[in-house]
Amino acid sequence: MQIMITHGRLARTRVLQLGPWQMALLLFVLAGLMLALSGAIYHFIFLKAARDGWPVVSSLVKLVVKDEFAQRDRFMRENLDAMAQRVGEMQAKLIHLEAVGDRVSGLAGLKPEDLRPEELKPAALKATDKLPGQGGPFVPSDKPSLSELNRAIDLLDDVSAQRADVFTMIESRLFEEQMKSLMVPNSKPVDGHTSSGFGFRSDPFSGRSALHTGLDFPANSGAPIMAAAGGVVVRSEYHPQYGNLIDLDHGNGLVTRYAHASKLIAAQGDLVKRGQVIAQVGSTGRSTGPHLHFEVLLNGVHQDPAKFLAGGGRSSHRAPAALAAASPRSRTVASATGGASPAAP
User: What does the pLDDT look like over 92-105, one tens digit per residue?
Assistant: 877 877 777 777 77
Which of 57-66, 274-283, 295-304 has the lowest average pLDDT? 57-66
Query: Which helix (DSSP H) or strand (DSSP E) does residue 152 occupy?
Result: helix 146-182
Beta strands in the chain (DSSP E): 2-7, 12-17, 199-202, 209-212, 215-218, 224-226, 231-239, 243-251, 254-264, 271-272, 277-281, 291-298, 301-303
Report the C-alpha gap between 164 and 168 in whole angstroms. Answer: 6
Q: Which CATH superfamily, name and number, covers 199-336?
A: Glucose Permease (Domain IIA) (2.70.70.10)
Q: pLDDT value at position 291?
A: 95
Which of 173-182, 212-221, 248-257 has the lowest average pLDDT? 173-182
Q: pLDDT value at position 37?
A: 85
pTM for this model (two decimals): 0.50
The phi, psi pair for 209, rounded to 5°, reads -70, 130
Has residue 164 got a pLDDT over 90?
A: no
Which of 135-149, 159-173, 182-196 has the lowest average pLDDT? 135-149
Report the C-alpha gap between 252 and 299 in whole angstroms. Answer: 8
Report the C-alpha gap between 43 and 37 in whole angstroms. Answer: 10
Which of 42-51, 133-142, 236-245, 307-316 has the lowest average pLDDT? 133-142
Beta bridge partners of 280: 224, 263
The model's pLDDT over 4-29, given as tens digits with 9 standing for 90+, comes to 666 666 566 666 677 778 778 888 89
Report the C-alpha gap between 137 and 88 in whole angstroms. Answer: 9
Report the C-alpha gap between 345 and 216 in whole angstroms. Answer: 8
